[in-house]
Chains A and B, each alone.
Chain A
């Protein structure tokens, strides 16, 4: 069965420092991989995706993610964190047969001023 793991419930980082939110997946075939962000009292917002091509994917708000097939990972990164980046981040995966998304459990990012 497909699954997505986000090994950290909480990530704390100081403003201006680089941040990484980890994600690993177990999906058959070649996966489609996504990151979503959820701000308080808001819906899920799309950040970025990996379908094919370059392993480094750039998305909204300065975020990027690196697809690593050998490690089955898709970690979210940002070179310099902002306090406004504090939110809940979800990694999601979908196989290329069109099956539905599987979400990870979410990681709460807190950027401290």
Chain B
């Protein structure tokens, strides 16, 4: 069964450093997403991406965040200057269509710890 792959599984970084979280969506999917889950809290939408541009973003997704699809397979989330409150599990997801009949396929997540 096709999977969404995320690397690394765990990233520890110092406050103020830049981090890049990587995702390989399912190959025939056209829509890509990032979500995050702060420990003990609900899953929150960050951003959606289609046709090489952001289609929607939440209030959380401020100027410190950016997304990119640098090649035909990867989809990255960059945090320019990490803050302690960026510590969370970050999930990448992809779907074939924007209103996916089967729901999104999520990766296993990257746990980001900012110290």
Which residue of A34, A43, A101, A105 contacts B108 across the interface (Cβ within 8 Å)?
A43
Residues of B contacting A100 with CB < 8 Å? 33, 45, 48, 56
When distances are taken between beta carbons in the complex, the residues of chain B under 8 Å from A70 are none
3 closest A-B pairs by CB: A43-B108, A98-B98, A105-B42
Q: Which stretch (B11-19, B64-72, B79-87, B99-107) binds chain A?
A: B99-107
Do A105 and B41 touch across chains, with their CB atoms under 8 A apart? yes
- Chain B residues, CB < 8 A from A51: 101
CB pair A49 B109 closer than 8 Å: no
On chain A, which size bracket covers the interface?
A: 20 to 34
CA distance A51 to B93 in the complex (A): 19
Cβ of A102 within 8 Å of any chain B Cβ, yes or no, is: yes
A92 to B44, CA, bound (A): 11
Could you say which residues of chain A place their CB within 8 Å of the CB of B107?
Answer: 43
Q: Please name the residue on chain A nearest to B46 by beta carbon.
A: A100
